Structure 1
Amino acid sequence: MKEKKMTLMTQVKYWQENENLPLEMKQQLADLAQNPDWVQDAFGADLEFGTAGMRGLMEPGTNRMNLFTVGKITEGLARLIDELGAEYKARGVVICYDPRYNSAAFAQHAALILGAHGIQVYLFDSLRPTPELSFTIRYLTAYAGIMITASHNPKQYNGYKIYGPDGGQMPPAEVDSVVKYAEAIDDIFAVQTGNLSELRQAGTIQLIGENVDQAYLAQLQTVNVDRKLIAAEADNLPIVYSPLHGTGNVLYQRVFGENGFKNVHIVPSQAILDPEFISVPSPNPESPAAFTEGIKLAKKVGAKLIIATDPDADRMGCAVLNQAGEYELLTGNQIAALMTNYLLTGMKKSGELTAQLEIVKSIVSSELPFVIATSFGIKTKNVLTGFKYIGEEIEHLNQTGSGKFVFGFEESYGFLFKDFVRDKDSLQAALMMAEVAAYYSSRGLTVAEGLEELSQQFGYFAEETKSIEMTGLDGLSKMKAMMEKLRSETVTEIAGVQVMRYEDYLAQTAVVDGKTTAFTDYPKADVLKYYLADDTWIALRPSGTEPKVKVYVGVRSDSTEHAHANVTRYQSAFAELLN
């Protein structure tokens, strides 16, 4: 009985009466189903598996995160691996999870489904960071990985990501196969699971933990640039760290301590592995509110740097003491600029700087790190949004020998230096940011003063991302209509400034002076980007995990005040254009 052919209320009744639905979910469904709008949203579609996996509210329904939607996509992965054959089944799947409600249960459920197919499973014995999952796939030469996490979303959410054999998020072609197999499942409740004890005894499900931790921690010791600098400065450099109730807490003490940073103070209230994320409105290192508790501690210990990682510890944010004596949250772009400058300065000092080095970023990230990289004479490369594309570029460089990866970043607080991980790694980023602070401390400067120094040298850059929410079941159609409208109407100026170049990554065309040319440097993606006469760029991209369209604006000016004023002006002008 295919659920897609049922009416909404028939689906609700089928779920309510199914013997496999846990009692708690039955009660939750009985309460929520009183609301017709909720029924429409929860059962009117299947949970979308997008560019970064699937993410949703933890509730009953086909458009929600629960044991059965997790089971469905896992069964799709299992059937793909069955098709690939015995070698791939033996290589197996690594499964990892964060501290959210149901994360451990979802992880075990996925393990039992894969185990029922005879697929080797490596299940972490407790929660671990997403970058460690990426590392472990490569370390164990597994075929795939599953990460149960909703990243920085509020407590009501959970999510599911699939990783490929290179440790990066699974490429689109393989994901399409997984989704195809999942959609062929007739009954979401009929997915078979194995017996945990039997699968453990047979070795089909193996628990992993400290054995992999040690290998990952050893690789993290290769991240920092100047050990002598760290030895000279770190003891006198208090740093505050917050895992925001997440997986960073599992390894942070060893990560910092084994790399010379022993004067690190953890935020006690946020070191509790709490799925309520009780101390923050949202466990997001992009949010100033996430640093409130850290700032209190920083004032007590005299720290000039506060580092925070999100619950699955793939993204890192930081706040620094500025010239006004206040703690200021840096943007992901500012962090990347500081890291780029320090990294290349250090490599130049050690004689490691060569023209073969390459920095990689997403097309919606700041141009300042590229301007800095160019001044050092190294290569730069733009890729589509999604860290898997940075991973693909790393693999391309390694396979062709056409360059050497040195740093990759996205504006959304994702950073990577060493390619033993193929996804953003907040622990690598934390080590590099601590070293950046040590570098400026050795020069008698704060990190904020170092950023001002870069601005005076290269120009004042500012970027801002705003989201246009598209809620409800028609959210996707609204986003599609908005993008189609922009494609059908030629935009020649924004806020009175001429558009010099227009790029459509779906059509894979660029328009300059009315002439259209094709470009094939990127896979197709639903992104539009405008380059203006004053070095401003504006990009529009529907989110891969949430019903919203993101508008990115990047400017370059002669002062901080002018840069931020221009960002505001262009965001307002573009919003008017969309309306």
Structure 2
Amino acid sequence: MEYMSMYKRWLEFDEETRRELEGLDEKEIMERFYKELEFGTGGLRGIIGAGTNRMNVYTVRKATQGLANFILKQNIENPSVAIAYDSRKYSDVFAKEAALVLNASGIKTYIYDELKPTPMLSYAVRHMKATAGIVITASHNPKEYNGYKVYWSDGGQVTEELAEGILNEIKNVDYSDIKRMDYDEAIEKGLFNFMPKEVEDTYVKLVKGLTVNKELVEKMKDKVKVIYTPLHGTGNKPVRRVLEELGYKNVYVVKEQENPDPAFSTVKYPNPEESEVFTRAMEMARELDADVIIGTDPDCDRVGVVVKNSEGNYVVLTGNQTGALLTHYMLENLKATNTIPKNPVVIKTIVTTEFARAICKDYGVEILDVLTGFKYIGEKIKEFEINGDMNFILGFEESYGYLAGTFVRDKDAVIASMLIVEMVCYYKDRGMSLYEGLMELYNKYGFYKEDLVSITLKGIEGSEKIKKIMEDLRSNPPKKVADLSVKLVKDYKMSVTKNVVSGEEEVIELPKSNVIQLVLEDGSVITARPSGTEPKIKFYFMTKGETLEKAEENIKRFKEEILKMAE
């Protein structure tokens, strides 16, 4: 059994690893050693612990040696890598280890001297003209996880071709091949460097420059009340700094969640999609009669928004609702201030609301769909930059990620937080809450409703079950869902859309991805997609109803049927 021989080899690595591994039962040994932690297009992500299928200094060093080998084969003059890390357990250790492995291959590194948001790494790669970037984070995963994301010189996450090249190099690395430089030697040779302070300063200046309506902010900056929670992560300093420098007077931070904490002690897991993480923030909001609550995830690339509804209760907006509001706010105010550029474009993912399409159509602005994952939005921005044909306004995805501006090439909750507070100013100036603003958009454009169901299936058995669900959907898609005929089946792995009625087929002009979409006769869309970073299969539901209640009823029916099929 191959995993047992690898297990025995790891027992010899160091005393701490031996102590952790000794005494494990065979099932746990197999779980930890039956495979290498997978390097996907987003990099690595896994449970912290000893083993080839876990996040630890050895798997981090191995991945980094593969990255170093890949960089050296590109024959780039004076290669360098920018590195950032979040508040998770061992994030600072993994970041330093990655730097020292790169240094041993003669690659210069620039590492932030304290935890920083993922988007600030994306920016630093471009600002420092680095060859690549690494950020140590597991985003909004539970506390047991950590991860390792790789960026390329354009500041975007590596996409398929680059990821494949790096993966091939990682596969060829044996643990005995890994080189690591001593820290003092790396400092002495000028290979290990801390990020210059001006990187953050110029980033903050550029973020503030994305203010859409400066007069509005000036008028309303001391009238809006904001509650902010960084959820024990990296957002605390940059988000507050941006809002403070713009002159917002009433920004209150949730003290219990202000400081970095790898145990995320006040929440089950630090995901701003979950209303439970806002319990304390909502108490504060009620005490202070706040206009909005914003909460950023540990690496500050996602942001959740909480507003007061018509009954006076604070409710969490979905990522789709916030994205639609931002799309409308930006287009309306760019138009009002006569600053809308030529050939403007908004980008969303294939599982993100069609609400934004209706808004863009109203303003005569093009909207593009890309695969799930913000790297594809970043890729489009790069394409526009090269071709000089389109001007990027906003990119967003349903999973609480938003981006304006082009100096960052990943979702950015610092930028998004600033724009959300500005949007609150816009509605407050009109005598409305953000919730009333959302209702206004529903009444104008239609009642769009979306939902997501994630089924967690852990371990080897779970992985096989996810494969089977996708294979069954691919080979035998349902003819009807909730009494509505399936009109189109879009298979993004096979790059084909099949019209079930006519039998006609069309090519899908997007990279291949293990995603299946069912388009129903009323235009509703159901999407199945295994997660690339967690042991989950996700089902996305999108519909539009004559009223919000009817749209919600549709979603409920779709969910019941699809989950029965999945079982």
Query: What residue number does 1:13 align with?
Result: 8
After superposition, where does 1:138-537 map in structure 2 within 5 Å? 138-186=126-174, 188=175, 190-353=177-340, 356-512=343-499, 513-537=501-525
Q: Does 1:45 align with 2:35?
A: yes
Amino acid at match of 2:529: R
- Secondary structure (helix, strand or coil) at the match of 1:540 reads strand
Q: Residue 18 of structure 2 aligns with which residue?
A: 26
So what's the TM-score if we normalise by structure 2?
Answer: 0.97
Do residues 101 (structure 1) and 89 (structure 2) align? yes
Checking the alignment, whether the CA contact within 8 Å between 2:348 and 2:395 is kept in structure 1 is yes
CA contact (8 A) 2:121 2:135 kept: yes
SS of the aligned residue for 1:236 comes to coil
User: Aligned partners of 2:426 and 2:48: how far apart in 1?
Assistant: 44
1:354 is displaced (CA, Å) by: 5.3
| 2:61 pairs with 1:74 | no
Give CA deviations for 1:102-135 in whole Å, capped at 9, x if unaligned.
Answer: 0000000000000000001111111110000000
Q: CA deviation at 1:91?
A: 3.5
Q: Match of 1:3? A: none
Moved beyond 4 Å, runs of 4+? none
- Amino acid of the residue matched to residue 227 of structure 1? K
Q: How big is the shift at 1:559?
A: 1.9
* 1:118-171 Cα distance to aligned partner (Å, 9 max, x none): 001111111110000000101111110000001111111100000011111012
Structure 1, unpaired ranges of 5+: 1-5
CA distance in 2, matches of 1:388, 1:86: 23
Match of 2:294, SS? strand
CA distance in 1, matches of 2:459, 2:453: 19
Provide the rounded CA distance (Å) in 1 between the counterparts of 2:509 and 2:339.
Answer: 29
How many angstroms apart in 2 are the aligned matches of 1:68 and 1:176?
Answer: 21
Measure the CA separation in 2 of the matches of 1:91 and 1:352.
39
Matched AA of 1:394: I
1:25 Cα deviation from its structure 2 partner: 2.8
Contact 1:355 1:377 in 2 (8 A): no
Q: Quote the Cα distance in structure 1 between the aligned partners of 2:76 and 2:517.
A: 45
- The root-mean-square deviation of aligned C-alpha atoms, in Å, is 1.4
| Contact 1:305/1:319 (<8 A) preserved | yes
Q: In structure 2, how many angstroms separate the alpha carbons of the residues matched to 1:504 and 1:516?
A: 14
**CA distance, structure 2, for counterparts of residue 244 and residue 570 of structure 1:** 33
Q: 1:547 — aligned with what?
A: 535
Q: Is the 8 A contact 1:319 1:327 kept in 2?
A: yes
Contact map agreement 2:492 2:508 (CA 8 A) in 1? no
SS for the counterpart of 2:389 is coil
Are the equivalent residues in 2 in contact too, given 1:235–1:261 (CA < 8 A)? yes
> Alpha carbons of 1:317 and 1:209: their partners in 2 closer, same or farther (altered >3 Å)?
farther
Give the whole-Å Cα distance in 2 for the aligned partners of 1:540 and 1:72. Answer: 33
Letter in 1 for 2:56: N
Cα pair 1:51 1:386 within 8 Å, conserved:
no
Q: Distance in 2 between matches of 1:516 and 1:37?
A: 48
Q: What is the number of residues matched between the two proteins?
A: 566
Contact 1:355/1:378, CA 8 A, preserved across alignment: no
Give the Å deviation of 1:250.
Answer: 2.6
Task: Provide Cα deviations, 1:208-243, integer angstroms capped at 9, x if missing partner.
Answer: 152211011111012111111111112011101010
Task: Please name the residue that 1:557 is paired with.
Answer: 545
Alignment gaps of 5+ in structure 2:
none
The change in CA–CA distance for 1:197 and 1:402 in structure 2 (over 3 A counts) is: same
Partner Cα distance (1:86, 1:236) in 2: 52
Residue 85 (structure 1) aligns with: 75
Amino acid at match of 1:175: A
Q: Which amino acid aligns with 2:421?
A: A
Contact 2:66 2:166 in 1 (8 A): yes
Q: How do 1:123-142 and structure 2 match up within 5 A?
A: 123-142=111-130
Q: 1:107, 1:398 → 2: CA distance?
A: 31
Amino acid aligned to 1:290: V
Letter in 2 for 1:83: K
| Separation of aligned partners in 2, 1:61 and 1:436 | 47
Q: Summarize deviations over 1:157-191 as a string: whole Å, max 9, x none.
A: 100000011111012111111111111123x2551
